[in-house]
Amino acid sequence: MGGGRGTRLNPLTQVRCKPAVPLAGKYRLVDIPISNCLNSGYNQIFILTQFNTASLHRHIQESYKFDPFGGGFVDILSAEQTDKSDIWYQGTADAVRQNLHHFGVKGKEDLCIILSGDQLFRMNLENFVSEHLNSDADISIAAKPLPLSQAEGLGLMRVDKNLEITEFIEKPKDPEVISSLSVGEEVKSKMASPGGDDYCLASMGIYVFNAKVLSEALNSGMADFGKEVIPSLLGKRKLHSFIFDDYWEDIGTVKAFFECNLELTNIEPPFNFYNEIERIYTRARYLPAVKVNGAQMKNTVVADGSIINNSELKRVLLGVRSIVSEGSKLENVIMMGADRFEDNLDFKKNFKEKKPNIGVGKNCSIKNAILDKNVRIGNNVVLDPAGIEDDFEEGKSVMVRDGVLIVTKEAILPDGFRMTI
């Protein structure tokens, strides 16, 4: 589900919705929940969204094509005007409400799994559903144990010894309230390595609903699951918590997106894209192999079709068709790559129009930056956000947000451009 504007990820969401933001060099954020569904045996998937959806539509159409005999599909349901509603989605719950008639789930035994479109995690949803059924719950919520210091800004819950939810508070800020929700031994016993810290249970925004309960709960004006729907059902329905003690990252901000991607360059990254059994699926592009001409690289991930000339890369993630020219130095950089290769005719046209080719030019120095798709960075460009205050006013080619420098999609930086102190 990705119906929001993605304002916290701006400017990465200026021309695309959150689920369509590139991830890990060759994927999109939406590939994570879709792959979790497919790996768990669930192949009837709806994506609810409404802002900047063209890129997402194109990615889904080109990536997820099922044979006609399996009954699988990935359908995008954008906001639409009907006889019953002529307004856009007002929240996650409202988005589901407006599309219930599309889901075809009315029976007493039907279930709906609701996922988020901006998280990085790997979960066997079949285990989630199995525990939901065994607990005889009406609603189950995936819950991540977190140290109290990391809990601010998330929905927190209190559970009993059977992991039934007895209290739910959406995004508390008072440290005393957060501390009062620390978990007991019944939760710590399900954690891999709890240590000595105090933990609380944070909602991951992932739910399993009995279809009838979902329909009844949404027969109201409530628009958001965490703020309204879940709290309203406490004491009226049985709410169960499914403890998930594995890697999970909410990629809702520029800082989180930047750090999450750079962590993939670690020798042992916290999330493993090299899992042959539970693969992350995406579009098959049929690109040529990577070409490296004398570069020095350390902790670098390079996607298909990239060409790296004699340059220095340290903790860098390069997306598909990335071009880095000789003499350039990149450190802590995410480069999303390009949508196409340029040819000799393009190079001649670029020279005539006095604009750089797609990619990073010669003798550039770039640190702590995100280079969005199709950027054209000239020679001798210097980019470093250190000491520069956040400034992400719409319309600029280069911005700083959360301490990260961002070159926006299709931006052109001429030779000698500098943004540094």
pLDDT digits (tens, 9 = 90+) for 41-83: 999 999 998 888 899 999 999 999 998 888 899 999 887 777 6
CA angle 300, 304, 310 (to 5 degrees): 55
The full set of domains in the chain, from first to last, is 123-246 (3.90.550.10), 291-419 (2.160.10.10)
Smallest Cα–Cα separation from 305: which of 26, 63, 55?
26
pTM: 0.94
**Inter-residue contact 28 to 34 (CB < 8 Å):** no
Predicted pLDDT of residue 1: 54
Predicted pLDDT of residue 106: 66
Low-confidence residues of the chain, pLDDT below 70? 1-5, 83-86, 106-107, 195-196
Predicted pLDDT of residue 196: 65
What three-state secondary structure class fits 121?
A: strand
Which helix (H) or strand (E) covers residue 404, if one does?
Answer: strand 404-407
What three-state secondary structure class fits 28?
A: strand
Predicted pLDDT of residue 107: 67
DSSP-assigned letter for residue 258: H
Predicted pLDDT of residue 393: 82
